Structures are given as structure tokens and as C-alpha cells.
Structure 1
Amino acid sequence: MLLLRLAQRALAAPRPRMVNPALLALLRPASKVLAVLVGRGFRKWWQALPKHKKQILIDHLRRNRVRYAVGSGVAATAGVVYYHNHVTVAPYTGRHRFMLLTTDQLFSMAGQLYQMEMEQYAHLMVPEHHPMLERVQRVGNRLLQANNTLPELYTKVWTVSVIDDPTMNCFVLPSGDIVMFTGMMDALENDDQVAAVLAHEMSHAILDHAAEHLNRGYLLDLVVLVPVALIWAVLPSDLLAVASHWLFNLVVKLFLTLPYSRLLETEADYLGLRLAAKACYDVREFSALWGKMDVLEKIMDKNGQGAEVPAWLSTHPTNEDRQRELEGQMAEALDLRTSCKCPPLTPRDPREPIRRLQRGVAQEDPQVTPVAIPLQKPLPPPAARIGTVTAS
């Protein structure tokens, strides 16, 4: 099978000077431990300090409060300047984001991660001419060909592998390696829905979301060092410090980490819808797919087979929220599809059956039965082969 390595080229926008990712990976856990040790050590020292010496230190701080305030202001200003020097603009969405590492720096790391994943699933990879693999290749090639003016496509080596596993998942690495699971393929009824999943995952790579997610984590870790140290320094016992530290981490996760993750997913949906529109796929299937997932989730919840995770506790928007968000962008996507001189869509709107099912489930209609998910042909014996998506 032809393997076309897309030539890597630098993007036009200048990038700030970045740091070594391996160094950051080493410092990240070490800094958290250091903050705890420093805070706890200060508390133990202060508790053991005689009362008159505590008063001497307090008086010293009062006399020099202006000097310490100025020093803190200078440090804060330096931090703000450093932050703004590493802010870039996300392509196609215009969102400003902090980028300490670039996808180029993560490319070799992604290659190592890909090899680790493939070693784990080597015995489950479908053979080269398997219908599922050929289908994903066909759809992936069409998406790449239709969007081949995007410069970000040429910084990747686009490949695709299909894993014989019932997990409903698909992911893409910063290098462009797409991994699809047969469990997800079983839930997709046509090429348009395959395009919905692939375009979303490819958008993550195009928008450098993997690098951004790591950058966000590094920034948060740096920002929370002072509060963590203060928790361990101010609270009178280790037990209180542990409980407060856990609560602080929970607050950071609920109000900073999870909302940001959901933002990236919504952004990938936004770009993916437009990639598929330019490739002349039926973009109405995007909404229909997430509507179907919403129906399945609610039916399983009512049958006691699962519980719907609240949006504020999830890394992804709910299926219903994704459907609603995509519906709000549908008119623009359909206009883009028309401007690309795509063939007219069929009169049958794939969203209508799903809407009826959703209304029936919401009203607890006893006539509503679970959505039938079409299954693909039985898998042949697995083989460790990789299919490749190409573009020109």
C-alpha cells in the first residue's frame, strides 16, 4: 500500500522559544512534592519557634512590608510577561492559548506513545484489506484531499489503524496516527458518520490540542504551587492539610481542568463539522450520530445498565449538548457544503428518526424500543498490519 509522507514545513506564524518537554515532565511531579515539603517544613519550624522569636519575625515583616510588596509585584509582573510571551492563537478558531510546548516537540514523544499503543494492541490489529480498515482509509483520504489547503495537514504523517476491540473509541496522536476501534465502527451506520468521528479526531491534531492540554497542565501545576504550599504551612495539622489539599485539587479539577477539556472537545466538533462539509459529506449525520448516542445512553440509564455522567463531572460535553451545539452550526455548514459545489443532499433527513426517538424516550413512551446498531461483518483472524491514510 502506498505510503505518502507529507513533507513537514514550518508554519508562517512565528513561535516563541520553547523548553525541553523531557525537563518539564521531570519537574512537574517534583515541584508538587517540593511545595508540600516546603509548606510542611515551614509549619513545623514555626510551631517549634519560641514566642519571642516569632514576634521578632512579625515585626521585621511589618517594617519591610513595602519592600516585600514591591518584590512580589515585580515577580508577578515577570510571570505575566512570561505568560504573554507564550500565548499563541489557535488556527481557525482564533482562541488565545498558552503554549509552552509545540506539536513539533511532541512529535517524537507521540511516536514513542504510538509504538507503545501498537505493542499493546498488536495482536488485535485487523489485516490490511479488512473492510473496516478500507472504509476508514477511504473516508480519511477524502477528508484530507478536500482540505489539502490547510498547512497543518503537512506537519503530520497521517496513518490509520483499526483495533479489534469492542471499546467505543477513536483517538489521534499529535503525529497524525489515527487509531479506530471496531466497537466504534460497529456503532457507525454509514460513511457520513465515520467522517463525523474521523473529522473530529483529525481536528484535535490540526488544532494542536494534545500539546495545548499538556501546556495547560504545566501552567496549572505552576500556578497552584503557592496555594498548595500555603495549605501545608498554615493549617495546624497534617490531617487538615491532607483534607484541604484534596478539596483544593477537586475544586481545580471541577472549575478549571474539566471545563477546559470540554472546550477543546467542542472546538474539535466545530472544525470537524467544517472539514466534513468541504469533503461533501452529509453533515446532518453529525447531529444524528450524537442524538443516537444520547438515546442509547438514556435507555441504558433507564434499564439500570449505566448512569449518565453529569456534564460538570465529564471531560466531554454530554451527547445532548453536542447535538444541540452542532445543530446551531448546521446552517453555516450546509452553506459551506453548497459553496464547495457538493451534490445535493437526499430529501430524507437522518435527524428526524432520532428526534422522534428522543421525544419518545423523554416522554417514556412504551412503544419506543432501543435503537438497533448495525453490526459489521464478522472479523477475520487479526493480524498486526497498519493501514495508511494518504493525501496529496
Structure 2
Amino acid sequence: MDRLARRLGVRDAVVIGLGAMLGAGVFVVFAPAAAAAGGVGLLVALALAGFVAFCNATSSARLAARYPESGGTYVYGRERLGPFAGFLAGWGFVVGKTASCAAMALTIGAYLWPGQARVVAVGAVLAVTAVNLRGVAKTATATKVLVVVVLTVLGVVAVVGATDVSAGRLAADGGVDRGVLTAAGLLFFAFAGYARVATLGEEVRDPERTIPRAVPMALGAVLAIYLVLAVVTLGVLGADRLAASTAPLADVVTAIGLPGLAWVVRAGAAVAVIGVLLSLLAGVGRTTLAMARRRDLPGALDAVHPVHRVPHRAELAVAGVVILIVLLGDVRNAIGFSSVTVLVYYAITNAAALTLGPDPHRKLPVRALAALGLAGCLLLAVNLPPASVVTGFAVLAVGATWYALRRRS
């Protein structure tokens, strides 16, 4: 069996995690989360989503160090819980994240050229796929550039926005209710990228050391950035205006009297989402490769390029499906749908981690965190918008049915 080359160190892995996370929460999810939970509720939901993500990250890091190969929870579920659990995790990841890729591509089009959003989206998918096909080292290098640009733009927004933050607007909506769980489920979409490090486990140097360090470092940095920007957007716009906004950070700089910066923020948004798309397509391609190796997906996708050492057939297949969704599908509800399937994916991650037992090398209560992560994932999943819950579980049921029929035949 062909193996992928181990080329990524701690810094590369952290950057890929940052590139996968930065963008979705800041530019896409804050508005619907504010609509669900209000102002104070948004901050509570962000902290809750971050805590569940931390539990998941701890479980993912332990499992990835034990099983340093491509596939993430698809592999962990198979090894610790059985073939069906692994299949369900892999199916949920591939289906949910493929829809997310289409949503991200359309977001790029909407920011750069609203009148031709689908055309721009297809171009973005083709360009990102071309970079990924050149090898994971090229992916890490490109992601570094994107992360620097995005951090610069977000830093500018945070600094100029902080000058106009109003305590009254922050506290205007003090209610915290069940909408917090809905908002936390939506915001979880913004944190899911940290697992990209685990799905690239076969390409990380010294995975037993690199992965447990890189995952919490990337997650902690992103949580801090999200909290700062959530306070700034709420303090400048207020909960109602934020909930109605389609471009919250652009509206922040416009609201404080700097409309000339809006185009910079829009460009930064496009760069951020390109970074998400770059690492997301890489992760989906590698999970597809892992499933094809075990014939849970067509065996023709089990191929590694002899020169660039990437799963080229899997990545081309995923790109083709994403382009089809971009051209024909309606992905407005992709965030909710993706959140349902990915939360199930991480529920399986935590269940697998519970079978590892205690870890004498870690001071954290890893088994308790895995149990809390499992419960948190299921709680957030069922509290997402009803249409997303029904669609997400229906797609998981279709996959489970196909698996059962294939096994029987």
C-alpha cells in the first residue's frame, strides 16, 4: 500500500489548523448565531462551543498520536469501536464537509463578485485543488501566506473597532435561553478545522509529539481571536444589527466612519475562506483515501501520486462533487447540515477516546473530557435548526443503510 510522505512539523500543523478555522466563524457564523442567542447569549455560546471543541481536540490528539495515518475518526472508530462506527464517522465527515466546501466556495464568489458568484466559486475550487495536488508541503506554504493576510485584516478590524465599543450595546440584550445551544451548535462549525491536523496524521513528522501539541495550540489561538472579535462586533453593531448583517466585519468599519476599509475587509474575507477551502479539501480528500483503502468507498480512489505523494484521485473526485453542488445545489443551509454531521463525527471521536483508558503522561482528566465531549456533541447536534437536524440525520441514515446492504451482499 502506498504511503504519504511525512513532511509537516509542529509549526506547519498549527498553521494548517489556523487556516482551516479562521474565516468561517468570523465571516459567516456570527450573524446567525447572534440571531439565535442574542448578544450576551452569543458570547456564552462561543465559550460553550470552544469548550466542546477543546474536549474533542483532546480526544482527537490522543487518538491521532496512537493511529498516525490519514482518515481521522474514520480510522479511530474502526480501530476502537468497530467497522460500522468508523464508516458512519467517515461518511458524515465526507458528506458534511463536501457541502461545507461548496458553501465556502460560494462565499468567496459572493464577496469578490456577487453577480457571478458561481463562476468565481468554480474557479476557486479549481485553483485550490491545483495547489493541493502539488503536495502537502505546498498546501502548508500557501496556508501560511493566507493566515498572515487574514490575521492582519482581523487585527485591523479589532483595533479600529475597539475605539467604538459600547458597553450599553454589549449588555442591551441580556437574555440567555435555549437559543444559546442552537448558537453554540452553529459556532462549532467555526472550530471544526482543528481536526485537519489529525486527518493529515500520515504526513506529520513525529506524530506522537507533534499532533498533541499542534491541535490545542491552534484551537486556543482561534478561540482567543473569536472572543475578541465577537466583543468588538457586538460592542459596535449591537445584537440586532449583527444578527441582520451579511458582512459583520465590513459593517463594523463602516459604522465607525471608515467605509474605505470595507473593501479591505471584504478582500480579507475572501482570503480567509480560501484558506479554509484549501485545508478543508485536503482533509476530505485524505478521509476519502482512507475509506477507499478499506473499500468503504470505490477502490479506484485508493491511489497516491508517485511524485507529489498526495491522494490525487480522491481530491479530484471531491473537487468534482463540490463543483457540481456549486453549480446546481442550494447550500444556504450547509452550515447547519455540516454542523450536525460533524458533531456526530466528533461524538464518535470521544466514544473512541473513552476506550483508551487513562493517560499517565497527561495531567488533564482526559476520560472526563471525552465523556463531556460526547455528551456536548450530541446535545448541540439535536438543538440545531430542525431542518438541519432532519436533513443531517437522514443523510447519515442513508449511509448506514447502504453500509448494511453492502455488508449483506
Determine if the TM-score, normalized by the shorter chain, exceeds 0.5: no
Higher relative strand content: 1
The bucket for the TM-score relative to the shorter chain is under 0.3
- Which structure ranks higher in relative contact order (CA pairs < 8 Å, sequence separation ≥ 6)? 2
Larger Rg: 1
TM-score (norm 2): 0.24
TM-score (norm 1): 0.25
Higher relative helix content: 2
